[in-house]
Amino acid sequence: MLGFAQTADLEASLERETTSQYLNAHERKSLLRFLTCGSVDDGKSTLIGRLLYDTQLLMEDQLAALAADSRRHGTTGDDLDFALLVDGLASEREQGITIDVAYRFFATEQRKFIVADTPGHEQYTRNMATGASNADLAVILVDARQGILTQTRRHSFIVSLLGIRHVVLAINKIDLIGYSQAVFDQIEASYRSFAEPLGFVSLQAIPLSARYGDNVRSRSAKLPWYQGPTLIEYLESIEVESDRRTAPFRMPVQWVNRPNLDFRGFAGTIAAGVVRPGDRVAVARSGVTTLVKRIVTADGDLPEAGAGEAITLTLEDEIDVSRGDVLAAAAERPEVSDQFAAHVLWMHDEPLIPGRPYLIKLATSVVGAIITHIKHRLDINNFAKLATKTLEKNEVGFINLMTQAPLAFDPYSRVHETGAFIIIDRMTNHTVGAGMIDFSLRRASNIHWQALDVDMNARAIAKGQKPVVLWFTGLSGAGKSTIANLVEKRLHAIGKHTYLLDGDNVRHGLNRDLGFTDADRVENIRRVAEAARLMVDAGLIALASFISPFRAERRMARDLFAEGQFIEIFIDTPLEVAEGRDPKGLYQRARNGLIQNFTGIGSPYERPEAAHVTITPDLSAEEAAELIVSYLDRGSYLGSATG
């Protein structure tokens, strides 16, 4: 309210003057987002409740509700149980657990604070990471009686993984150890030596009692040996504004603003740096450069805008820019790559499996991606690197990632906004993981396909057919191979060029190093799909006959092909029928527990949702083959030479 105090009406009234002074001061407040880590036993919820109480953010009706709750659910006798303030959902309260992240707000004269409260228990890693992703600082609670525990190390590691550089070590329950300086000093020293490799820029240890309020807001007379700031004093004064404005300019484009033919603006939030009209900017992916014309906002054009501001830019030249592009300082551009090394945190019940197709969202881009390799898993208790083939929920791994299209990015350590991504499951759309890019594995420009003179079309024309893969899926014993064989014979008889890929000729050669774990099944299908792709490129009609029980893998296979090049054929034979046939005695062995993960018995078969051709159980193998060949004929796959 810079202009507010100037109005005559206000100056006339002392009371109003007070209000305007208040507004003036509050207008200039900064914002600090911080995270609290620790378990219920450390008094974390109590500390947050205490912060709200001490900054007088609790209203009378809320205090009355708290008093009632404290009597009913509380653990502090007749005292207010501040922990109940930060417990939100009824079902959680009944179960006595908190399962999520809660956000709390309070303010002092200097600052507004947003606190992410991330409870412990099983989901601690996922919850903490969620809270930490938007925090500038972490308050790590330690119970003075316990000292540094495994969980303290765990919390500190996640805080450092998510790039938080400022830490407060709150040594709580100092009242229960007689306000002892010796204990405090010992805990601080041991934490400092432990945290050394975590790269925190600042670390402040504070002795306090959340329950009684010592050193939370007001200085405690019982801790005369402590000369440092109280918790609130420290949170009010710490400078966390990093070098976001001095970094090179980055703005991921969110939305193209085109109200009419005369205006074409690019809306986005500045991720890093500063921009002014006249600056030369590049579209990171295409490399095309131009000059910034205007910085448009509803409050008028700006002479300059910096990190964190939501603006709209217009450019001097009509160049190709759309959502997902990053506008960047032309002199210092982000890297562009389709292969990255990154740390990921897995957050879903279904494990991360290398080779499985996911989507990732990085800044404003959403692209298909697969994790090609898990280099190692990190034990978050002791930072040990462990070999693994999959990542389970709440595990952290260092992985290689390949995207379907090149992305502009910065290493997460340099710019969070252009280095962070989430991983999305293609079927359920759940957010299943979170990642932070460390570096690119190679530049995308090096991997352009070799342009070949004789291409797929040329080969196909020579063969008088349209190349395609026929993907047969269904239970073991459904009749996939029998039908595929019949189809191939018929095609061969009319002079078509074909090749049949099935378990037998692939498992003994190309894929003989693979077993039957979920991860190996995914890799099996990936290799088969790639082999089929080469055959289609060679102009062949490829027949692939594999159980391929998971939708995600069939989708991955399908995504390798152009529209019309992949025909999914579902051999819909019920389990009882297939098991009755049991040509290789596999069902019997699975029922006897001799084969683990057998599809239909120990592992699910996910039915196709939209197969091109479905073969129902009432058809004979001959009829099924006839149906498939006529489908191909109708789709003009067989050229003019068909009979």
Residue 24 Cα distances to 68, 477, 494, 596, angstroms: 38, 77, 86, 69
Closest distance to other proteins from the beta carbon of 374 (Å): 20
Q: Is 476 annotated as a binding residue?
A: yes
Is residue 2 near other proteins by the rule CB under 8 A?
A: yes
Binding of other proteins at residue 401 (CB under 8 A)?
no
Per-residue binding letters, 291-320, with other proteins (x by CB under 8 A): -----xxxxx-xxx-x-xxx-x--------
The contact pattern for other proteins, residues 203-242, with x = CB under 8 A and - = no contact, is --------------------------------------x-
Q: In whole angstroms, what is the distance from residue 52 CA to residue 137 CA?
A: 18
Closest to other proteins by CB, 8 vs 221, is 8
Question: Which lies closer to other proteins via its Cβ, residue 270 or residue 501?
Answer: 270
Instruction: State which residue, 90 or 493, has the beta carbon closest to other proteins.
Output: 90
List the Cα angle 430/323/310 in 5-degree steps.
Answer: 95
Q: Is 40 annotated as a binding residue?
A: yes
According to CB under 8 A, which residues from 251 to 280 bind other proteins? 254-255, 257-259, 263, 265, 267-269
**Is 480 within any annotated ligand binding site?**
yes
Determine whether the annotation assigns residue 600 to a binding site: no
The tokens describing 488, both together, are 């191939």
CA distance 118 to 137: 14
The tokens of 424 are what? 């999305």
Q: Taking CB under 8 A as the criterion, which residues in 437-466 touch other proteins?
A: none
Q: What are the C-alpha distances in Å from 281 to residues 292, 312, 352, 445?
A: 7, 14, 38, 20
Task: Please tell me the distance from the alpha carbon of residue 112 to that of residue 410, in angstroms, as a whole number.
Answer: 30
> CB of residue 544 vs other proteins: minimum separation in angstroms?
28
Nearest approach, Cβ of residue 529 and other proteins (Å) = 24
Residue given tokens 């504070």 in the structure block: 206
Stretch that binds other proteins, among 39-47, 327-335, 417-425, 624-632 (CB under 8 A): 417-425
235-262: burial string, b at 16+ Cβ within 10 Å, e else? bbebebebebeebbbbbbbbeeeeeeee
Check binding of 618 to other proteins (CB under 8 A).
no
- DSSP annotation of 334 reads P
Nearer to other proteins, 112 or 376 (CB): 112
Size of the site for other proteins (CB under 8 A): 94
* Contacting residue, 434, 500, 544, 571, with other proteins by CB under 8 A: 434
Contact 526, 505 (CB under 8 A): no
Residue 44 assigned ligand-binding role = yes
Beta strand ranges found along 1-43 (DSSP E): 30-37
Order of all β-strands in the sheet with 202-207: 102-107, 111-117, 30-37, 137-143, 166-172, 202-207
Nearer to other proteins, 122 or 504 (CB): 122
* Burial (0-12, 13-18, 19+ Cβ within 10 Å), 599: buried
Residue 474 annotated in ligand binding: yes
CB 500 within 8 A of CB 543: yes
Sign of the four-CA dihedral 199, 203, 209, 211? negative
Which CB sits closer to other proteins, 129 or 475?
A: 129
Task: Candidates 35, 51, 129, 168: give the one binding other proteins (CB under 8 A).
Answer: 129
The reply, when asked if residue 172 is annotated as ligand binding, is: yes
Q: What whole-number distance in Å separates Cα of residue 269 and Cα of residue 96?
A: 40
Residue carrying structure tokens 């229960």: 176
CB contact at 8 A, 454 and 359: no
**620 labeled part of a ligand binding site:** no
Alpha carbon distance 585, 630 (integer Å): 33
Cα–Cα distance for residue pair 222/230, rounded to 1 Å: 13
Q: How far apart, in whole angstroms, are the C-alpha atoms of residue 273 and residue 328?
A: 9
11 is a contact residue toward other proteins (CB under 8 A): no
> Taking the complex as a whole, how short is the minimal distance between the CB of residue 1 and other proteins, in angstroms?
6
DSSP letters along 46-68, please?
HHHHHHHHHTT---HHHHHHHHH
Which residues, 348 to 387, sit near other proteins by CB under 8 A? 359, 361-364, 366
- 62 binding other proteins? (CB under 8 A): yes
Among residue numbers 32 through 61, which ones bind other proteins (CB under 8 A)? 59-61
Q: In angstroms, what is the minimal distance from the CB of 626 to other proteins?
A: 35
20 binds other proteins (CB under 8 A): yes
DSSP 84: G
Of 359 and 487, the one with the shorter C-beta distance to other proteins is 359
Residues 88-117 that bind other proteins (CB under 8 A): 88-93, 99-105, 107, 111-112, 114
Q: Is 174 annotated as a binding residue?
A: yes
Verify binding: residue 532, other proteins, rule CB under 8 A.
no
Is 548 tagged catalytic? Answer: yes
Q: How far apart are CA 132 and CA 130, in angstroms?
A: 6
| Options 27, 79, 109, 609; binder of other proteins; rule CB under 8 A | 27
Q: In angstroms, rounded to a whole number, what is the distance separating the alpha carbons of residues 213 and 211?
A: 6
Site for other proteins in 132-151 (CB under 8 A): 133-134
Candidates 137, 251, 272, 422; binder of other proteins (CB under 8 A) is: 422
Determine if residue 39 is labeled as part of a ligand binding site: yes
Catalytic hit among 209, 337, 545, 548: 548
Asked whether the beta carbons of 455 and 373 are under 8 A apart, the reply is: no
Contacts of residue 548, Cβ cutoff 8 Å, sequence gap at least 6 = 471, 473, 525, 554, 557
Point out which span in 35-43, 416-424, 475-483, 586-594 binds other proteins (CB under 8 A). 416-424
Confirm whether residue 379 is marked as ligand binding: no
Q: What's the length of the chain?
A: 643
Nearer to other proteins, 112 or 222 (CB): 112
Residues that constitute the known binding site = 38-45, 117-121, 172-175, 474-481
- What positions carry a catalytic annotation? 548
Residues that constitute the known binding site for ATP = 474-481
Residues that constitute the known binding site for GTP = 38-45, 117-121, 172-175
